[in-house]
Amino acid sequence: MAMVLINEAVQAGARQSKACAVLGLTCRTLRRWRAAESLIDRRKGALRRPCYHALGVAEKEEILATCNSPEYQSLPPSQIVPRLADKGLYLASESTFYRVLREHGQANRRGRAQPPRTVPKPHAWLASAPLKTWSWDITFLPTAVRGQFYRLYMVMDVYSRMIVGWEIHEDERAEHAAMLITKACLRHRVRQDALVLHADNGSPMKGATMLATLQRLGIVPSFSRPAVSDDNA
């Protein structure tokens, strides 16, 4: 049929290569077909058929019974499969365990795992002038001893990009952060209830000493969402 269509197209004025391209063929394939004694497909197919590895009903019931047993009912498949392997038992792969549980509506969070929760996006602050919105963080500074680091506390004005305060300590503590913010406010004469301080959710940022100092200075605290780096200026 393809050869007849190509011949009709060529007789109508089309180029043979263009007609073959429309059918997804090449001119070389067309020449081979024309030179062949017979166009019957002589391919014999695969020598053997692959084995069918799908789990049977009994095997799936065994997986469900194992997952719902008192020993494993509070564990996810990522822990069940290795524990069975320690006993010399192999029922199925970890992904198969998840697939079987999903098919039977049991792919829920097992044990003490908390369901995912949606954290609301923090309030957006507009830095329209200097000394209105600050952002701060703590980073590591290498020392001469390998594996030991200093902590750099740095506060930056979001509008002007000016570093309004920084200190170096040997550890991360809310007391150090509170003292740094107090010194920065005194140095730049920040007015009460005129400053927003943004940070991530680290323990020094949300420590009781730090929050009490911000309240005493009249600074509005702002925190980014957990594991969302884009919230941190």
pLDDT tops 90 at residue 15: yes
For CA atoms 195, 196, 202, 207, give the dihedral sign: positive
Residue 152 structural domain: 133-231
In terms of domains, do 144 and 180 share one? yes
Q: pLDDT band for 19, please (50, 70, 90 cuts).
A: very high
Do 79 and 149 reside in the same domain of the chain? no
Is the domain of 152 the same as that of 207? yes
Mean pLDDT score of the chain = 88
Spatial CB neighbours of 73, under 8 Å, sequence gap ≥ 6: 67, 110
pLDDT band at 118; cut points 50, 70, 90: confident
* pLDDT given for residue 187 in this prediction: 93
Say whether both 149 and 211 belong to one domain. yes
Q: Is residue 93 in a domain?
A: yes
Helix (H, G, I), strand (E, B) or coil at 191: coil
- Hey, which residues does 232 pair with through a beta bridge? none
Q: What is the CATH number of the domain that holds 155?
A: 3.30.420.10
Residue 177's alpha-carbon distances to 129, 194, 205, 207, in angstroms, are 24, 19, 8, 9
Tell me how many domains the chain contains: 3
Q: Is residue 121 part of a domain?
A: no
- 49 band by pLDDT with thresholds 50, 70 and 90: low
| Stretch among 40-44, 111-115, 212-216, 221-225 having the lowest mean pLDDT | 111-115
**β 219-223/133-142 pair status:** unpaired
Whether the CB-CB separation of 153 and 216 falls below 8 Å is answered with no
Q: Give exposure, 143-156, as e/b (b: 16+ Cβ within 10 Å).
A: eeeeeeeebebbbb
Amino acid identity at 142: P
Query: Of residues 202 and 100, which shows the higher confidence score?
Result: 100
Q: Kindly state whether residues 77 and 163 are assigned to the same domain.
A: no
For residue 126, pLDDT beyond 90? no
pLDDT tens digits along 51-92: 667 788 899 999 999 999 999 988 889 899 999 999 999 999
Residues 147 and 217 in one domain: yes
Q: 52 Cβ partners below 8 Å, 6+ apart?
A: none
Answer whether residue 153 shows pLDDT above 80. yes
The span from the CA of 1 to the CA of 87, in Å, is 62
- Is 113 contained in some domain? no
